[in-house]
Amino acid sequence: MRLLRNPNFDFLKLQKPFVIGSIVAALISAGAIATKGLNWGVDFTGGAQIVYAFQQKPDEDQIRKVVEGAGVPVTSVQRYDKAEKNQLLLRVPMEQKEGRDVSGEVTPALVKALAPAGRGEDVFDLNLNGADPLSAKLQQDDPEKMAGRADANPTVEYGRIAQSIIAQRSETGLFASLDAAAATPGLSPAVASWLKEKTVAGPVTLISAESVGPAVGKDLRRKGTWAVVLSWAAILVYVWFRFRSVSYGTGVVIALVHDAFIALGLCAIFGVEISLTVVAAFLTLIGYSANDTVVIYDRIRENLEKPKKEPFALLVNRSINETLSRTFLTQFLTFLTVAALFFFGGEVIRGFSFVLFVGAFIGAYSTIFIAAPWVVNWETWKAKRAAAHPASVPDAGKAGNAAAKGR
């Protein structure tokens, strides 16, 4: 860490090989996007996301075969939530027609494939059904013999019992057996006996089902793209105005486009699904990288206001070194946080954490070797042009004047 206390690295001297490296990385990214394409999620292509909980640890390959055997194509089957909850997230394209009840097709196929042999078709499944169907079944069979009793209200009483049974299932996970269901606190012996005789604890239950139509998905893709582009434009205008020089505005945007494009290329290479959360990760990456760049730009501006005179390139290099410890510590802590999300956060946020994981490196690299050298090269070119054609070039601004004097 001593190197970060008073660093004195010549970063500008290394700009050429790093720029060449960036160009190579950008070409590889472009090739990956062109050949492999982007793995657009159902958020943008249209489709359904269905979450199921299973009585036993599910086999992803088996579940995929069952679903596809029911005539429903699956783009991905992945773990969902904590491992002990035995939940899977199914992503299903919906290119056939709007409003298709995919879960209504998938659920019976899963029950049929996973249920024990010899199970009846009309048996009541405690794991598959919710409180309302259970309450209706209780009222129909009336295990407490409430019908005709003046002091009883079967609708209310059985509704309360059904709610307590389903609440127990939500707390403990799917009932592994009918004994587990009958052990629900507060149940009478008659209801417990009825559960064991008249119901079954099925192998699967539907947790949630969300669908996005193809037209909506296309609209979300367009809006997501515009969100990224407009964020670049807003940052360009703000930084240009804030530092009173177009070189700073264009420098930060070039670095941001560089970061986003290479991260997008890595998504194509590794097949990361582009969902709304991944778009959110790209917007987070853009804001984070812009903040890191502005910190260096602020230090450049502060050093320009000091009476000490030195060539503009040396001033920029000194500014990078002065903020290096802050850049390193910020990126390192961010990397640790995102690494924890990537390795332990589960599949649902894997794409989000992947973008930030690689972006933490790319952003630090582009700030030092692209954004800062860009300002030096721009202001140096502008100063030379002003010296060659003093009448044709307007006031270059403080940074440009400093560059001219330094040269």
For residues 301 and 234, state if they share a domain.
yes
CB 181 within 8 Å of CB 172: no
Q: How far apart are CA 76 and CA 125, in angstroms?
A: 27
pLDDT of residue 94: 66
Residue 229 falls inside a structural domain? yes
Indicate whether this model's pTM tops 0.85.
no
* Domain shared by 186 and 313, yes or no: no
Low-confidence ranges of the chain (pLDDT < 50): 96-97, 393, 395-407
Give domain status of residue 184, yes or no: yes
Q: Examine residue 250 and state whether it is found in any structural domain, yes or no.
A: yes
389: Cα within 13 Å, side-chain hemisphere: 6
At residue 5, the pLDDT reads 66
Q: Can you say how many angstroms the Cα of residue 262 is from the centroid of all Cα atoms in its chain?
A: 17
Transcribe 355-395 into DSSP letters. HHHHHHHHHHHHIIIIIHHHHHHHHHHHHHHHHH-TTTS--
Same domain, 197 and 218: no
Question: Residue 165: its pLDDT value, please?
Answer: 93
Residue with tokens 């060539």: 311
Note whether 64 and 18 are same-domain residues. no
Task: Give the long-range contacts of residues 62-66, CB within 8 A, separation 24 or more.
Answer: 62/113, 63/88, 63/90, 63/110, 66/109, 66/110, 66/113, 66/114
| Domain final residue pick, 202, 229, 262 | 202
The reported pLDDT for the residue numbered 101 is: 76
What does the pLDDT read at residue 3?
53
Do residue 53 and residue 12 come from a single domain?
no
CATH number at residue 91: 3.30.70
> Does 87 share its domain with 143?
no
Q: Is residue 207 part of a domain?
A: no
Spatial neighbors of 245 by CB under 8 A, at least 6 apart, are: 375, 379, 397, 399, 400
| Together in a domain, 155 and 75 | no
Distance, CA of 376 to CA of 315 (rounded, Å): 10
Q: Whole domain around residue 137: which residue ranges?
A: 121-202
Quick one: CA dihedral 252, 255, 259, 261, positive or negative? positive
pLDDT in tens, 150-170: 888 889 999 999 999 999 988
What is the three-class DSSP state of 37?
coil
Say yes or no: 225 and 313 in one domain.
Answer: yes
> In 3-state terms, what secondary structure has residue 268?
helix
Q: Considering the domain boundaries, does residue 150 fall inside one?
A: yes
- For residue 208, is it within any domain? no
| 19-40 residue pLDDT tens | 899 999 999 999 999 998 888 8
Same domain? For 266 and 336 the reply is: yes
Do 324 and 377 share a domain, yes or no? yes
Name every residue whose Cβ is closer than 8 Å to that of residue 261 and which is 6 or more positions away in sequence: 26, 29, 30
The burial class, CB within 10 Å (0-12 / 13-18 / 19+), for 99 is exposed
Token pair for 83: 């491992």
The answer to whether residue 28 is domain-embedded is: yes
The domain boundary, picked from 115, 138, 162, lies at: 115
pLDDT of residue 105: 86
The span from the CA of 247 to the CA of 371, in Å, is: 9
At 405 the pLDDT is 45
Among candidate residues 180, 202, 224, the one where a domain is terminated: 202
**What is the model's pLDDT at position 104?**
84
Give the amino acid at 210. Answer: E
**What domain count does the chain have?**
3
Q: Retrieve residue 291's tokens.
A: 């903040």
Task: Decide if 297 is inside a domain.
Answer: yes
Q: How many Å is the Cα radius of gyration of the chain?
A: 31
Pair 399, 310 in one domain: yes
pLDDT of residue 95: 57
286 and 354 part of one domain: yes
